[in-house]
Amino acid sequence: MTKLTFIEPSGNRREIEADGGQSVMQAATAAGIEGIAAECGGSCMCATCHCLVCEAPGGLPEMESDEADTLEFTAEEMRETSRLICQIEVTTEIEGTVFKVMGR
């Protein structure tokens, strides 16, 4: 299990424990984290899983070009810490990461 924290659009801070073998988006939506529409189901096409990374103690995997391209079409302005969480796999290496959900 990997502990992840989400700051929901309302400001609520929620910690979840996620199993590996899924994306951060899948773990977050299964836990009922607010503000993640995930309209494309994780295909890196909708940008409705946009989050800002507030803390990443162990770092995060590098962004692929597909993710960077889709991030240009987010409803909110893309920032340096922007990520599409459907493109990040849950692993023990990302333990302690804090994501701010951008929502809509």
CA distance 56 to 43: 23
DSSP string, 24-67: HHHHHHHTT-TT---TTSSSSSS-TTEEEEEE-TT--PPPPHHH
Q: Name the residue with the smallest CB distance to ligand FES.
A: 86
Binding residue for ligand FES, selected from 25, 53, 88, 102, defined by CB under 6 A: 25
Binding residue for ligand FES, selected from 31, 44, 56, 68, defined by CB under 6 A: 44
Binding residue for ligand FES, selected from 45, 52, 60, 98, defined by CB under 6 A: 45
Identify whether the C-beta of residue 2 lies closer than 8 Å to the C-beta of residue 20: yes
Q: Could you say whether residue 51 binds ligand FES (CB under 6 A)?
A: no
Instruction: Give the total of residues touching ligand FES (CB under 6 A).
Output: 14
Binding residue for ligand FES, selected from 7, 28, 33, 47, defined by CB under 6 A: 47
CA distance 79 to 18: 26
Helix (H) or strand (E) holding 15: strand 13-18
Q: Could you say whether residue 88 binds ligand FES (CB under 6 A)?
A: no
Find the angle CA(15)-CA(17)-CA(18) to the nearest 5 degrees: 125
Rounded least distance, CB 23 to ligand FES, Å: 8
Given the rule CB under 6 A, which residues bind ligand FES? 25, 38-40, 42, 44-49, 70, 84, 86
